[in-house]
Amino acid sequence: MDKISNSQDESGALHNVENFVLDKLLSQRATVDDHPINIRELTESLDNTMAPLFDQAIEDLIAQSLIHCEDGENFQITYDGINELENRKREATPL
Protein backbone atom coordinates (compact mmCIF):
# COMPACT_ATOMS: atom_id res chain seq x y z
CA MET A 1 0.00 0.00 0.00
CA ASP A 2 2.88 2.36 0.77
CA LYS A 3 4.32 1.82 -2.72
CA ILE A 4 1.01 2.83 -4.28
CA SER A 5 0.76 5.89 -2.08
CA ASN A 6 4.37 6.92 -2.82
CA SER A 7 3.80 6.39 -6.53
CA GLN A 8 0.67 8.54 -6.43
CA ASP A 9 2.51 11.22 -4.44
CA GLU A 10 5.36 11.27 -6.94
CA SER A 11 2.96 11.34 -9.87
CA GLY A 12 1.10 14.25 -8.29
CA ALA A 13 4.35 16.08 -7.59
CA LEU A 14 5.50 15.56 -11.18
CA HIS A 15 2.15 16.85 -12.43
CA ASN A 16 2.62 19.97 -10.28
CA VAL A 17 6.10 20.60 -11.70
CA GLU A 18 4.75 20.17 -15.24
CA ASN A 19 1.97 22.65 -14.47
CA PHE A 20 4.52 25.11 -13.08
CA VAL A 21 6.67 24.87 -16.21
CA LEU A 22 3.68 25.24 -18.54
CA ASP A 23 2.35 28.20 -16.57
CA LYS A 24 5.76 29.90 -16.52
CA LEU A 25 6.20 29.44 -20.27
CA LEU A 26 2.69 30.69 -20.98
CA SER A 27 3.20 33.82 -18.88
CA GLN A 28 6.53 34.46 -20.65
CA ARG A 29 4.83 34.02 -24.01
CA ALA A 30 2.19 36.58 -23.13
CA THR A 31 4.66 39.20 -21.95
CA VAL A 32 7.53 38.87 -24.43
CA ASP A 33 5.84 38.05 -27.75
CA ASP A 34 6.56 34.32 -27.87
CA HIS A 35 10.18 34.72 -26.76
CA PRO A 36 11.68 31.49 -25.41
CA ILE A 37 12.62 31.19 -21.76
CA ASN A 38 16.06 29.94 -20.82
CA ILE A 39 16.38 26.80 -18.71
CA ARG A 40 18.36 28.83 -16.15
CA GLU A 41 15.38 31.15 -15.65
CA LEU A 42 13.13 28.15 -15.13
CA THR A 43 15.42 26.42 -12.64
CA GLU A 44 16.02 29.61 -10.66
CA SER A 45 12.30 30.00 -10.11
CA LEU A 46 11.82 26.45 -8.78
CA ASP A 47 11.41 25.76 -5.11
CA ASN A 48 13.35 22.95 -3.44
CA THR A 49 10.47 20.47 -3.65
CA MET A 50 10.22 20.83 -7.45
CA ALA A 51 13.91 20.68 -8.32
CA PRO A 52 14.33 16.86 -8.14
CA LEU A 53 11.52 16.30 -10.67
CA PHE A 54 12.34 19.18 -13.01
CA ASP A 55 14.36 17.21 -15.60
CA GLN A 56 11.73 14.48 -15.78
CA ALA A 57 8.96 17.07 -16.15
CA ILE A 58 10.81 18.77 -19.02
CA GLU A 59 11.39 15.44 -20.77
CA ASP A 60 7.73 14.44 -20.36
CA LEU A 61 6.45 17.79 -21.64
CA ILE A 62 8.72 17.63 -24.70
CA ALA A 63 7.69 14.01 -25.38
CA GLN A 64 4.03 15.07 -25.28
CA SER A 65 4.77 18.04 -27.61
CA LEU A 66 3.52 20.45 -24.95
CA ILE A 67 6.76 22.43 -24.98
CA HIS A 68 9.36 22.94 -27.66
CA CYS A 69 13.12 23.30 -27.40
CA GLU A 70 15.40 23.55 -30.43
CA ASP A 71 18.72 24.07 -28.69
CA GLY A 72 18.44 22.32 -25.32
CA GLU A 73 18.49 25.66 -23.50
CA ASN A 74 15.48 27.75 -24.54
CA PHE A 75 11.91 26.57 -24.18
CA GLN A 76 8.57 27.66 -25.59
CA ILE A 77 5.07 26.42 -24.90
CA THR A 78 3.23 24.95 -27.88
CA TYR A 79 -0.43 25.47 -28.74
CA ASP A 80 -1.05 21.94 -27.46
CA GLY A 81 0.69 22.97 -24.24
CA ILE A 82 -1.58 25.98 -23.86
CA ASN A 83 -4.65 23.80 -24.37
CA GLU A 84 -3.33 21.19 -21.94
CA LEU A 85 -2.66 23.80 -19.25
CA GLU A 86 -6.18 25.20 -19.67
CA ASN A 87 -7.62 21.67 -19.36
CA ARG A 88 -5.56 20.97 -16.24
CA LYS A 89 -6.71 24.21 -14.64
CA ARG A 90 -10.35 23.37 -15.42
CA GLU A 91 -9.99 19.88 -13.94
CA ALA A 92 -8.38 21.27 -10.78
CA THR A 93 -11.15 23.83 -10.21
CA PRO A 94 -13.93 22.47 -7.97
CA LEU A 95 -17.44 22.93 -9.30
Instruction: Please give the average per-residue pLDDT across 64-70, as a whole number.
Output: 95
Structure confidence at residue 30 (pLDDT): 67
Contact call for residues 53 and 90 (beta carbons, < 8 A): no
CA–CA gap between residue 20 and residue 1 (Å, rounded): 29
Q: How confident is the model at residue 80 (pLDDT cuts 50, 70, 90)?
A: very high
Structure confidence at residue 12 (pLDDT): 87
Q: Which domains does the chain have, with CATH numbers?
A: 2-92 (1.10.10.10)
End-to-end alpha carbon distance in the chain: 30
